[in-house]
Amino acid sequence: MKSVKQTPAYKNRLKALEYERTGGIASKKKGIKQVDKKVEEELSNEVELQIHGVEKPSVWRLFGVQFILWPYSVGKALTWKICWFWRYRVKKLPYTWEDACYLTWISLQIPANAWKNMDESRKEDLVRRHLWEKSNMERYTSGTRKEPKRRR
């Protein structure tokens, strides 16, 4: 992480966040600008959250370990598929909150991190729209495409 903090991209992102936070007000003085340490640390923490792929590799990500755990993973996936089929196709039960969230997340095709970091009210709104149904998803995507046009 220390090496990432020294890159120009990281420093530029910090400056952009600071500029955004101050409402676009930049000092006209040239030279080194004294930034409050607390604000700088806060911005740095926010940028660190946005950086992906910098963490140390874990033991569970090693190829050999994954190969050994492969039968367990396949068995777990098959069990999940069979339970899903039984619960929602055979018994025709309504979706639980977790399963509705999963279906919404998959149908929106967004990364898992983005879904986890999304605020609960937004998630609730998306799940209530039943976006896993094709007609609802088409209506939602057409609505989101028209939204930027309305703002102009």
Give 11-48 pLDDT, tens digit per residue: 777 777 777 767 665 555 544 455 566 666 766 766 66
Give 39-95 pLDDT, tens digit per residue: 667 667 666 655 555 567 777 778 888 889 999 999 999 999 999 999 999 999 999
Q: Which two tokens stand for residue 125?
A: 């709104």
Give 113-133 pLDDT, tens digit per residue: 999 999 999 999 999 999 999
DSSP 121: H
Burial 13-37 (b: 16+ CB within 10 A, else e): bbeebbeeeeeeeeeeeeeeeeeee
Q: Are 141 and 134 in contact (CB under 8 A)?
A: no
